[in-house]
A and B are shown apart, each in its own frame.
Chain A
Amino acid sequence: MASDIRVRVFRFNPEEKAEPRFDLFSVPYSKGMTILDCLIYIKEHLDSTLAFRSSCRMGICGSCGVMVNGFPHLACHTQVSELGTDRLELRPLANYDVIKDLVVDLTPLFNKHKMVKPYLISPQLTADHVREFAQTPLELERYLQFSYCVKCGLCIAACPTCATDKQFLGPQALAQVFRYNMDSRDVGSKDRIQVIDQPHGLWRCHLAGACSDVCPKGVDPALAIQLLKRSVVGSWLGLTKRNVPRLVEEQEKQAPADAPKAPPLSV
């Protein structure tokens, strides 16, 4: 690796009438340096007007998604050394509107996420009574992988269907549908299927697999979407098993007297 890396950064200022441009910066390389370190260096030493998002610096908040040499990455999660080049081109995430420089408008991502009802739907959940559900480790495994989503939006930047179809729900929202539909505590799958079983919904995914390649958390949205297709077809044919939420209190009533009890809820 060279002592300096050359970083071309996409620049767009909505207050200027000028078209977007690229600025070139030279950043001193240090071992373990991440893309986010480069951006912070540029902002602190070379150009304080550069706009980008970041927060946690540890791949948890999902704020710092950018296109690095044409591929979506979390800036904090990607070391310069793993790219195998000392020339970087940083662009804002594809398939979103750019607000300024590397900052994109993630509103469509969050709107689509809200549309698919990403929460537990169960008649046993009431506002005035906190209740605990029983769930086996096997039932947890069915959806756990898909609950790691940090809503960074990289999958939408990678998705070739999102590139042409603005209304497509996208891998993030569809993966969350599967995550909640598979949760044994949830009975809202019919409501969610109504939202996704439409022209710009589930069936617009043609399995490019790009979303799973770019996911920084190993969520594998492509797998979730294909399994969701299977479950939707199964529900049409009446072949899918319905979730039957079990409350801990009810389960304990039916358990033998000497069975261990769950600890009391402290809410």
Chain B
Amino acid sequence: MAVKRYDNRLGIKGWLWAGKYPLERYFYSLQRLTGLGILLFLLLHLVETSYRIYGKGPWEATMAFFDTPLFLSLEYVVFAALIFHGLNGLRLILEEMGYLLGKPGRPVFPYVSSRQRQRPVIWVIGLTIVGLLLITAWDMFLA
């Protein structure tokens, strides 16, 4: 007789919700979310630019449709996603090749993990992202 089990797999919530985990875990979720967001934007972008084949009139109508404060704000969100995904992606490429994480050693309590050793990199990346977002916001909305 099959024994009844309760499936305790967290599923999508498990990778989306970082809960009490540190900053790097939030970067993981954001990296995936921004990746999906950029992919969605790419599909919309292809649809939008495809209107050019219908001639000048439909193309200009499409451009006018997107020329609103709402879509300007969404464009900023896309740009923010690109900045985050790109810069954090560079960090991940380096770290996934074993750089910036330190070397294995004897585990002596209190343990210092590779995640803690690379924390300065997270701060540098984070501050760079914030700086670029501010410059972009100024350029798009204030300049």
Interface residues of A (CB under 8 A from B): 12, 14-15, 20, 69-71, 91-99, 104-105, 141-146, 148, 158, 160-164, 166, 206-210, 212-213, 215, 217-220, 222-224, 226-227, 229-230, 233
Contacts and interface: CB of A to CB of B under 8 A. Distances in A.
Interface residues of B, number: 41
Interface string B12-37: 11110011111011001101100000
A205 to B, nearest CB: 8
B107 A209 contact: no
Taking each of A71, A91, A145, A233, which has the highest tally of chain B beta carbons within 10 Å of its own beta carbon?
A145
Interface in B86-143: 92, 95-98, 101-102, 104-109, 111, 113-115
A95 B9 contact: yes
Contacts of A15: 4
Given A163-B10, A209-B115, A226 B95 contact: yes
Contacts of A91: 8
Interface of B: 3-15, 18-22, 24-25, 28-29, 31-32, 92, 95-98, 101-102, 104-109, 111, 113-115
A208 B95 contact: no
A18 B120 CA distance: 49
A166 B10 CA distance: 11
Contact of A223 (B31, B97, B104, B109): B104
A222 B113 contact: yes
A105 B5 contact: yes
A145 B105 contact: yes
Given A220-B104, A220-B107, A220-B111, 8 more contacts: A94-B14, A99-B5, A141-B106, A145-B106, A164-B15, A206-B32, A213-B21, A233-B97
A210 B25 CA distance: 6
B95 A70 contact: no
A12 B3 CA distance: 13
Nearest to A205: B96
A132 to B, nearest CB: 23
Contacts of A166: 9
Contacts of B21: 71, 158, 208, 210, 213
B90 to A, nearest CB: 13
Given A160-B14, A160-B29, A218 B8 contact: no
Given A143-B104, A161-B15, A206-B28, A220 B113 contact: yes
A206 B31 contact: yes
Given A70-B19, A207-B95, A227-B104, A92 B8 contact: yes
A63 B91 CA distance: 36
A212 B116 CA distance: 9
Contacts of B6: 12, 14, 20, 97-98
Contacts of B106: 141, 144-145
Contact of A163 (B9, B95, B96, B115): B9
Contacts of A97: 5-8
A49 to B, nearest CB: 16
A233 B98 CA distance: 11
Contacts of B101: 222-223, 226-227
Contacts of B28: 160, 206-210
A210 B19 CA distance: 11
Nearest to A158: B21
A208 B25 contact: yes
Given A95-B14, A96-B8, A208-B25, A148 B107 contact: yes
Contacts of B7: 97-98
Contacts of A163: 9-15
A241 B111 CA distance: 29
A158 B113 CA distance: 15
Given A144-B104, A226-B98, A229-B97, A71 B8 contact: no
